[in-house]
């Protein structure tokens, strides 16, 4: 064999490997996008068509009618749920990001007694599934008397152990000790340093945790299902599920499938917007130039 054919073989082998990777990614893309596509297609169909036509292609375009029903059915409670979801997700997102940033920063930059143990506890709590915590959480919240109020959803969502872990790692890398020393000598107290110097540097991490908690709370179904019982406090997840089960249970008397599907589509949109908005904060290198 000549050197040239060796070379050619090398190229084709590499090409083959590359196209294999592309194919693999393509499969993933389809896996993730197919349900979304189904959601978009189905939200344009009326109830009978939802079951009589091919699921992955459009039939008679009924989206406007569906949307109108989503926002008017049951006295327009969907809007209340949307508002609730936004309230829970935004307050939990901002709150969790803030607490995680402060805690992670403290773990990264201060030496205090019990630091190692406390951090181990935080790490350990990542491993405990929410389902295991729901009953004790329920008992606690009812003891305090905030069961079936928005606080019952928001307060537990403010805690983000993963966020604390992320922020610790991020702060360790991003905030140089010399910068804190410089601010101390300049006369800043610790909180002022956090506010005026460190936090600005930690914004990309803050945005990441904010987004993670926002999405987690937006999509959270189990916690609000357990702690809320009045429909006017429901978030979208619980509300839509209730509509869905009532249409299944009603023996066809109360068929809401098309508005459940359209409502789900509407519920996805704000999350996508949040992603796009926060994307610009994902830029590293903010500390560049501060210290060598």
Partner 1 sequence: MANISFENVTKRFADGTVAVDSLTLEINDGEFIVLVGPSGSGKSTALRMAAGLEDITHGIIRVGGSVVNDLTPKERDMAMVFQNYALYPNMSVYGNMEFGLKLRKMPKQERKARVTAAAKMLGIGELLERRPAALSGGQRQRVAMGRAIVREPQAFLMDEPLSNLDAKLRVQMRTEIARVHQQLQTTTMFVTHDQTEAMTMGDRVAVMRQGALEQVDTPEELYKRPVNLFVGGFIGSPAMNMVLARLVAEGDKLFAQFGSQRIAVPREHLSQRKQLASYKDKEVILGIRPEDLEDAEFAPRADPDALLDVEVALAEPMGAELVTYFEIDAPPVITKDTRDLSTDLDELDANKGKSLFTARIDSQSSARDGKPLKVVFDVTRLYFFDPQTEAAIR
CA distance 149 to 226: 12
Please tell me whether residue 108 binds partner 1 under the rule CB under 8 A.
no
Please tell me whether residue 183 binds partner 1 under the rule CB under 8 A.
yes
Closer to partner 1 by CB, 69 or 190: give it: 190
Please tell me whether residue 289 binds partner 1 under the rule CB under 8 A.
yes
What's the closest the beta carbon of residue 292 comes to partner 1, in angstroms? 4
CA distance 292 to 288: 8
What's the closest the beta carbon of residue 284 comes to partner 1, in angstroms? 12
What's the closest the beta carbon of residue 181 comes to partner 1, in angstroms? 5
CA distance 136 to 130: 11
What's the closest the beta carbon of residue 68 comes to partner 1, in angstroms? 48
Footprint on residues 229-288 left by partner 1 (CB under 8 A) = 286-288
Q: Which residues contact 217 (CB under 8 A, 6 or more apart)?
A: 88, 89, 92, 93, 153, 157
Please tell me whether residue 204 binds partner 1 under the rule CB under 8 A.
no
For 254, phi and psi rounded to 5 degrees? -130, 65
Burial of 170 per CB tally in 10 Å (0-12, 13-18, 19+): buried
Please tell me whether residue 182 binds partner 1 under the rule CB under 8 A.
yes
Q: What tokens does 278 get?
A: 């926060």
Stretch that binds partner 1, among 37-45, 138-146, 183-191, 237-245 (CB under 8 A): 183-191
Closer to partner 1 by CB, 111 or 143: give it: 111
What SS3 class is residue 86?
helix
Closer to partner 1 by CB, 153 or 201: give it: 201
Q: Which residues contact 4 (CB under 8 A, 6 or more apart)?
A: none
Please tell me whether residue 94 binds partner 1 under the rule CB under 8 A.
no
Q: What tokens does 89 get?
A: 């997700």
Stretch that binds partner 1, among 21-29, 67-75, 173-181, 212-220 (CB under 8 A): 173-181
Binds partner 1 by CB under 8 A, chosen from 76, 189, 250, 284? 189
CA distance 206 to 190: 19
Alpha-carbon 91 to chain mean position:
13
Please tell me whether residue 290 binds partner 1 under the rule CB under 8 A.
yes
Residues that bind partner 1 (CB under 8 A): 176, 178-179, 181-189, 192, 196-197, 200-201, 286-292
């Amino acid at each position: 064999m000549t050197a040239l054919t060796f070379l050619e073989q090398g190229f084709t082998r590499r090409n083959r490997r590359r196209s294999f990777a592309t194919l693999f990614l393509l499969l993933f893309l389809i896996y993730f996008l197919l349900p979304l596509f189904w959601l978009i297609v189905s939200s344009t169909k009326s109830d009978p068509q939802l079951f009589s036509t091919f699921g992955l292609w459009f039939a008679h375009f009924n989206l406007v009618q569906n949307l109108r029903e989503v926002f008017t059915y049951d006295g327009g409670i969907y809007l209340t749920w949307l508002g609730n979801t936004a309230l829970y997700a935004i307050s939990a997102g901002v709150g969790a990001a803030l607490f995680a940033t402060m805690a992670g920063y403290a773990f990264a930059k201060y030496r205090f007694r019990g630091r190692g143990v406390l951090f181990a506890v935080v790490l350990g709590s990542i491993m405990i599934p929410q389902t295991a915590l729901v009953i004790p959480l329920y008992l606690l919240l009812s003891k305090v008397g905030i069961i079936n109020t928005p606080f019952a959803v928001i307060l537990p969502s403010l805690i983000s152990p993963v966020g604390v872990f992320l922020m610790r790692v991020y702060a360790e890398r991003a905030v140089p000790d010399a910068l804190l020393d410089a601010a101390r000598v300049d006369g800043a107290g610790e909180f002022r340093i956090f506010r005026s110097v460190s936090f600005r540097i930690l914004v990309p991490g803050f945005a990441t945790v904010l987004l993670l908690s926002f999405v987690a709370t937006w999509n959270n179904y189990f916690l609000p299902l357990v702690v809320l019982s009045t429909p006017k406090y429901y978030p979208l997840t619980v509300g839509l599920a209730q509509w869905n089960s009532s249409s299944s249970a009603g023996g066809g008397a109360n068929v809401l499938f098309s508005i459940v599907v359209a409502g789900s589509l509407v519920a996805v949109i704000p999350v996508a917007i949040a992603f796009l908005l926060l994307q610009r904060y994902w830029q590293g290198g903010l500390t560049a130039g501060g210290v060598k």
